Chains A and B, each alone.
Chain A
Amino acid sequence: MIKLKRVGQYAFLILASILSVFPLIYMLIAATNKSVDVIKGKMIPGNYLIENFKSLMAQQDVGGAMWNSFKYAIVLTVISLIICSLAGYGFEIYHDKGKDIVMNIILLAMMVPFAATMIPLFQMFSSAKLLNTTMGFILPTISTPFLIMMFRQSARSFPHDIMEAARIDGLNEISIFFKMFFPTMRSTYAAAMTITFMNAWNSYLWPKVIMSDAKSMTMPMLVANLKAGYVTDYGVLMLAVLLCSIPTIIVFFLLQKSFAEGITGAVK
Chain B
Amino acid sequence: MSKPKKMNLNQKQNLSGWFFLAPAAIMIALMSFLPMLKALILSFKTGIGTNMTWTGITNYVRMFQDAVFMQSLKNTFLYLIIQVPIMLILALILASMLNDKHLRCKGLFRTMIFLPCATSLVSYAIIFRSLFAVDGFVNTILIKLGLLNTGYNFLAHPNSARIIIIIALVWRWTGYNMVFYLSGLQNIEYSVYEAAKIDGASPFKIFTKITVPLLKPTILLTAIMSTNGTLQLFDESVNLTAGGPANSTITMSHYIYNMSFKYVPNFGYAAAMSYLILILVAVLAFVQMKVGDKRD
- In the complex, what residues of A have CB within 8 A of residue B117's CB? 252, 259
Residue of B nearest to A13 (CB): B109
Q: Which among A14, A87, A148, A245 is the interface contact of B120 at CB below 8 angstroms?
A: A245
Say whether chain A's binding surface is mostly helix, strand, loop, or mixed: helix
Cα distance A141–B32 in the bound complex, in angstroms? 9
Q: Contact at B121–A204, with CB atoms within 8 Å?
A: yes
**Which residues of A have CB within 8 Å of B261?**
208-209
Q: Who on chain B is nearest to A41 by CB? A: B140
Interface contact B256-A115, CB-CB below 8 Å: yes
Contact of B28 among A106, A202, A264 (CB under 8 A): A106
Residues of B within 8 A of A26 (CB): 127, 130-131, 137
Instruction: Report which of B31, B94, B228, B232 forms a contact with A16, defined as CB distance below 8 A.
Output: B94
Given the contacts A13-B94, A113-B277, A263-B176, A20 and B17 also touching, CB distance less than 8 Å? no
Those of B123-145 within 8 Å (CB) of chain A: 123-124, 126-131, 133, 135-137, 140-141, 144
**Alpha-carbon separation in the docked complex, A143 to B21 (Å):** 11
Name the CB-closest residue of A to B23.
A83
* Contact A84-B24, Cβ < 8 Å, known A16-B94, A117-B31, A119-B42: yes
Q: Are A139 and B130 in contact (CB under 8 A)?
A: no
A168 close to B (CB within 8 Å): no
Residue interface mask A213-230, B partner, CB < 8 A = 1: 000000111011001000
CB distance from B172 to the nearest CB of A (A): 10
Interface footprint category on B: 35 or more
Whether, in the assembled complex, A24 has its beta carbon less than 8 Å from a beta carbon of chain B, the answer is: yes
B109 contacts which chain A residues (CB < 8 A)?
Answer: 13-14, 16-17
Within 8 A of A (CB), among B25-44: 25, 27-28, 31-36, 38-39, 42
Q: Does B196 contact A (CB under 8 A)?
A: no
Contact residue among A106, A141, A177, A252 (Cβ-Cβ distance under 8 Å from B115): A252
Which of chain B's residues have a CB closer than 8 A to the CB of A221? 122
Q: How far apart sit A35 and B245, CA to CA, in the bound complex (Å)? A: 25
Q: How far is the CA of A177 from the CA of B108 in the complex (A)?
A: 38
Given contacts A41-B140, A263-B176, contact A23 B171 (CB under 8 A): yes
Decide: B24 and A24 in contact? CB cutoff 8 A. Answer: no
B32 pairs with A90, CB closer than 8 A: no
Q: With A19-B171, A23-B127, A87-B23 given, is the CB distance from A119 to B274 under 8 Å?
A: yes
Provide the residues of chain A in CB contact with B271, threshold 8 Å: 116, 119-120
Whole-angstrom CA separation of A91 from B24 in the bound complex: 11
Which residues from B are CB-within-8-Å of A56? Answer: none
Give every chain B residue within 8 A of A30 (Cβ-Cβ).
Answer: 130
Cα distance, A30 to B228, chains bound together (Å): 34
- The yes or no answer to A131 lying at the interface (CB within 8 A) is no
What residues of B have a CB within 8 angstroms of the CB of A86 in the complex? 20-21, 23-24
Contacts of B112 in A (CB 8 A): 17, 20-21
B274 touches A116 (CB 8 A): yes
**In the bound complex, do residue B100 and residue A143 qualify as a contact, i.e. CB atoms below 8 Å apart?**
no
Knowing A87-B24, A90-B21, A106-B28, the reply to whether A248 touches B120 (Cβ < 8 A) is yes
CB distance from A48 to the nearest CB of B (A): 16
Q: Are B25 and A120 in contact (CB under 8 A)?
A: no
Q: In the complex the two chains form, is A115's CB within 8 Å of B277's CB? A: yes
Interfacial chain B residues near A12, Cβ < 8 Å: 93, 97
Q: Answer yes or no: B79 CB below 8 A from chain A CBs.
A: no
State whether A90 touches B18 (Cβ < 8 A).
Answer: yes
State whether A118 touches B137 (Cβ < 8 A): no
Question: Which residue in chain B gives the minimum CB-CB distance to A250?
Answer: B118
Known: A20-B175, A115-B232, A224-B238. A260 touches B130 (CB 8 A): no
In the bound complex, how far is the Cα of B32 from the Cα of A120, in angstroms? 10
Within 8 Å of chain A (Cβ to Cβ): is B263?
no
In Å, the complex CA distance between A102 and B242 comes to: 40
CB contact list, A168-227 vs B, under 8 A: 173-174, 177, 198, 201-202, 204-205, 208-209, 219-221, 223-224, 227
Closest chain-A Cβ to B257's Cβ sits at a distance in Å of 7
User: CB < 8 Å: which of B18, B21, B257, B275 contacts A205?
Assistant: B257
Cβ of B41 to closest chain A Cβ, rounded Å? 9
- Once the chains bind, are A41 and B221 in contact (CB under 8 Å)? no
- Whether the Cβ atoms of A115 and B119 lie closer than 8 Å is no
At the interface, yes or no: B111 with Cβ under 8 Å from chain A? yes
Contacts beyond the supplied A20-B175, A115-B277, A177-B20: 12 A-B pairs with Cβ under 8 Å: A83-B23, A96-B17, A112-B36, A114-B253, A115-B253, A118-B35, A121-B31, A223-B122, A241-B127, A249-B118, A249-B119, A267-B218
